[in-house]
Structure 1
């Protein structure tokens, strides 16, 4: 999208750090992307990031979940343009909630709960690891973080 001044506007997405009772993080394997990611997706024009996240969780996983505090805002500058990532704290899903997950087949190929240290760098986009690690640290520190990454 181009602004009236001719500048390219940044795109945005919102994701959640959802855990199970063992502290493992929910990750999803999007059908249209090569690598795993946190559940969430694109923020539409005029949409609040938290509302976008709730919408995406309903669409992709079939879950209507409360979104917690913002953990990280990350501004990522890439050759194709800038993107803002919002990562929110998600709930802990017990076994009943986990059984209720219904991945949308056209969007999500697979889901998995795993410990952050078990996520291989090759599984996720290169810049995502820094964002995820900062989000998990922000949760522990009870303090939101801001990152700027240039690729």
Structure 2
């Protein structure tokens, strides 16, 4: 931010989209990418010209074999890191039927395993602390039925 204008310098940010997908017990689907050390919500990078909602649908098909409707946007999070800024969009996903759960098929090149976990059972050592803050904000937004915005500087 410049002192004279109070405006931030122009920043080109990367972006990704994810969804909170649940089972009938309210547990959240999380995936363990093979290229990262920690778990994540299913989703991924938004391609040039792609809408965030379309990106999360595509990523769900690719990563876990689910072709499902995506609900409302729950959280937009702007995260500033030393390597650059990133925008995370977290959408409300569906509650999966037992049949849909049995149909989960992992993309071996990206996802090593998946599980359904209660939000309180997802510990900070499982995912990056900033991601946990975003997930918790998304779950609260879902309960409150209103979207949230978060800014985090790491």
Question: What TM-score results when the alignment is normalised by the length of structure 1?
Answer: 0.95
Deviation at 1:126, TM superposition (A): 1.7
Of the three residues 82, 87, 91, the one matched with 2:90 is 87
C-alpha distance in 1 between matches for 2:28 and 2:56: 16
C-alpha distance in 2 between matches for 1:125 and 1:66: 27
Q: Whose Rg is larger?
A: 2
2:107 maps to 104
Question: Which stretches of structure 1, 4 residues or longer, exceed 3 Å deviation after superposition?
Answer: none
Of the three residues 65, 71, 74, the one matched with 1:71 is 74
C-alpha distance in 2 between matches for 1:23 and 1:133: 14
Deviation at 1:7, TM superposition (A): 4.9
In the TM superposition, what whole-angstrom CA distance separates every residue of 1:44-74 from its partner, at most 9, and x where no partner exists? 1111000001110111011111000000000
Of the three residues 143, 146, 150, the one matched with 2:149 is 146
1:129 maps to 132
1:117 maps to 120
Q: Where do 5+ consecutive residues of structure 1 fail to align?
A: 1-5
Does the residue aligned with 2:92 lie in a helix, a strand or coil?
strand
2:60 maps to 57
Question: What TM-score results when the alignment is normalised by the length of structure 2?
Answer: 0.93
Deviation at 1:23, TM superposition (A): 0.2
When the two chains are superposed, the root-mean-square deviation of aligned CA atoms in Å is: 1.1
In the TM superposition, what whole-angstrom CA distance separates every residue of 1:103-146 from its partner, at most 9, and x where no partner exists? 10111000000000001100001200110000000000000000
2:28 maps to 25
Q: Where do 5+ consecutive residues of structure 2 fail to align?
A: 1-8
